[in-house]
Amino acid sequence: MAQINIRVTDEQKALINKLAKENEKSISAYIIDKICIESVYQNDSKRIDETKKDDEGLILLLMKQLEQKDMQIEQLHKIIYNKDTKLLEYDSKKSWWQFWK
């Protein structure tokens, strides 16, 4: 097992001792947990932020597509309405002998 030595002031040492005792850990275990956990949290928060950005971009893209589809549906409704109107006009202009056609 490797050993790492760090220089701290007496106040910092006292604070580290106090925090380790409050967490019921040895000084080494407390420092290792803090370092490892903090790095994991930082990596996780970076990934979460990146995922949020990706999701926001995807949401905007899908909203634009949805707006385009709504416009296309509206245009199709207008086309169908116009065709139905023309068909009704054509049918109403038929003479009585063209009724069966």
What is the extent of the structural domain holding 81? Answer: 10-94
4 occurs within a structural domain: no
Q: Supply the pLDDT for residue 101.
A: 58
The single-letter code of the amino acid at 57 is G
Residue 35 has pLDDT above 90, yes or no: no
Q: Give pLDDT tens digits for 71-93.
A: 999 999 999 999 988 877 776 67
Residue 94 has pLDDT above 70, yes or no: no
75 occurs within a structural domain: yes
pLDDT band, very low/low/confident/very high, at 67 (cuts 50, 70, 90): very high
77 occurs within a structural domain: yes
pLDDT band, very low/low/confident/very high, at 46 (cuts 50, 70, 90): confident
99 occurs within a structural domain: no
Q: How many CB atoms lie within 10 A of CB 66?
A: 10
36, 37, 1, 5: which is closest to 13 by C-alpha?
Answer: 5
What SS3 class is residue 64?
helix
0.95 surpassed by pTM: no
